[in-house]
Chains A and B, each alone.
Chain A
Amino acid sequence: MTGVVCLAVAGALLYLAAGSASALRAEGWAFFTTSRWFYRDHEFGAASMLFGSAAVAVLALILAVPVAIAAAVFMSEMCSRRLRVAMKVAVELLAGIPSVVYGLLGVLFLRDWMSRAFERFEVDALSADTLLTAGVLLAIMVLPTIATLADDALQGVPKAAREASRGLGLTRAETISAVVVPRAAPALIGAVLLGFGRAVGETIAVFLVVGRADNRALSLPALFDAGQTLTSKLGGSETNIAVGDPLHTSAMISLGMVLLLVVLAATFAADALRRRIAEVR
């Protein structure tokens, strides 16, 4: 039975690798470096989608990581065990809310708030469907994921380390910042990487608020404009349109493969880092 699972996974990877070959061969490096995607002319340059995916994920992490780590510190280091479990349940329930519901909240609330903020700061945006909006929504979505994994990471630090530090006269805050967090650092980075993987791979919520505009500029001001990510492209109608056009299909599969490789790399790196603390213990 386990063989069946491995076979299915291997088959899927093989399919992606084989399917992406013809588009990648036709485009070469231009697939990654040019932002000209016109499928009717068989031009497939995915740079603006790569930029969009990177931009929304990095933005989400910048916003979410400090809050998530602080929340994890509180759960792991400053609570009674009961309160910790109660908070962890709430945080994991937050992580379990379907992404389409986050998308809905993004469409109905966040978009309005963003457009008001744009007006106040006189940012010139055509609509509130922007890369920035997607990044903020993603930040909310990955916050609980990172928080609960970071809490696990902190819990992995042995009690004796804390006690020794407190015994030396360090306060709780000093113990946490000088002993606990540094000891848990690899696993904390692992938690952040898994959050990154989730952010890059998230489709539905991003799709609803990112604007889905192709071939936009790769620049900082572009954050305040509609954009496209790998996932929002794959989630759109082009996946259906491409059927019957081998090169177009291959280009879409290439997007999927790039996405998969990035997320898998983050997942494996995170696993290795998270295991490191387990072995130290």
Chain B
Amino acid sequence: MRRRLFDLVFTVVAALAAIGAVTLFLAILAVVVYRGFDALSWRFLVEDMRAAGAEGGIVYQIAGTFILVLTATLTAVPLAAGAGIWLAMYAKEGARRSFESVLHAVNGIPSIVFGLIGFAFFFDLLQWKKSWLAGGLLLALMILPTLVVAFVEKLRSIPRETIDAAFGLGLRRGDVVRTVLLPQGAAGLVTGTLLGIARAAGETAPIMFTAAIFSGATVPRAVADSPVLALPYHIFVLAQDSFDPAMRSGMWGTAAVLVVLVTCVSALAIPLRLKIAQEAARD
């Protein structure tokens, strides 16, 4: 009897915790979308900001975030593709292990430390001041581990026989990479890229000293001294003036845009990632 009771209580507690976590997600999503809904309109998305965020839209915040994310993705994807192929095909055991440790370390670096180092290197040393390229490159380095890990995991799920068969046909290593690894691993790279995009779009700390300003930037035309506006930084600045009710509409609207964007991209990627992990575990 007591054992049955323990079983019941245990199950109920665990279920409540899990339901709580899922509810938390749905609640946050609902609150942000509900509050942001009033602010959302076509004009909000295509107009320039006015009155320090109290009026107008967020078109250049969207454009800036797009530029940062695009730069980060275009930089990180080729690096991740190269690193993944190298890890799966060319690297010796020791080199592979140490490079994976480096990747884990990079993945663990707090985002503000990226900001600090980027500030010293791009802003100060290269004299770029605030620049979209600095932000894009920092975000690229930051999301790189995510891309590589997802790509490598997919590569590992390719059956050994497929690769052996390709070698058996007399293909050279480069050909095997081109005809087997890249086509079969592509889904992993795509998954990693989507996860990376979702992460890069929402980060504030790496860009606050290196790339983003609150107002007065449009589309950059140079590298040095060419800041952008960005969605997360916009929310960050407005949140510090949150006592002003006039700011709230634009703040919630921006948050809704960012959350919907990030959640949609992640929602595409996470099921893919879980599926790849399952395939990789099966072998």
Q: Which positions in A face B, CB cutoff 8 Å?
A: 1-2, 4-6, 8-9, 12, 15-16, 19, 66-68, 70-71, 73-75, 77-78, 85, 87-94, 96-101, 103-105, 107-108, 140, 143-144, 147, 171-174, 176-177, 194, 197, 200-204, 208, 231, 234-235, 239-240, 243, 252-253, 256, 259-260, 263-264, 266-268, 271
Q: Which residues of B contact A103 (CB under 8 A)?
A: 235-236, 239
Q: How far, in Å, is A218 (CB) from chain B's closest CB?
A: 22
Task: For the complex, give the distance between the alpha carbons of A102 and B83 in Å.
Answer: 33
Q: How far, in Å, is A30 (CB) from chain B's closest CB?
A: 22
Task: For the complex, give the distance between the alpha carbons of A73 and B9 in Å.
Answer: 13
Task: For the complex, give the distance between the alpha carbons of A134 and B233 in Å.
Answer: 20
- Pick 28 A–B contacts, CB within 8 A, sort by A: A1-B82, A5-B144, A6-B102, A9-B106, A71-B21, A73-B17, A74-B14, A89-B274, A90-B26, A93-B267, A96-B198, A97-B28, A99-B204, A100-B236, A101-B258, A105-B28, A105-B31, A108-B248, A144-B24, A171-B3, A176-B10, A201-B113, A202-B110, A239-B119, A253-B116, A263-B109, A263-B110, A267-B108
Q: Which residues of A contact B235 (CB under 8 A)?
A: 100-101, 103-104
Question: How many residues of chain B have a CB within 8 Å of chain A?
Answer: 77
Quick one: closest A residue to B259, CB to CB? A101
Q: Which of B14, B82, B111 contacts A2 (CB 8 A)?
A: B82
1/0 contact string of B206-240 vs chain A (CB within 8 Å)? 00110000000000000000000000110110011
Q: Which residues of A contact B271 (CB under 8 A)?
A: 85, 89
Task: For the complex, give the distance between the alpha carbons of A57 and B38 in Å.
Answer: 36
Q: Do the beta carbons of B262 and A78 come within 8 Å of each other?
A: no
Task: For the complex, give the distance between the alpha carbons of A95 and B206 in Å.
Answer: 18
Q: Which of A4, A96, A176, A253 contacts B79 (CB 8 A)?
A: A4
Q: Do the beta carbons of A98 and B262 come within 8 Å of each other?
A: yes
**B246 contacts chain A at the CB level, 8 A cutoff:** no
Quick one: closest A residue to B203, CB to CB? A98
**B46 contacts chain A at the CB level, 8 A cutoff:** no
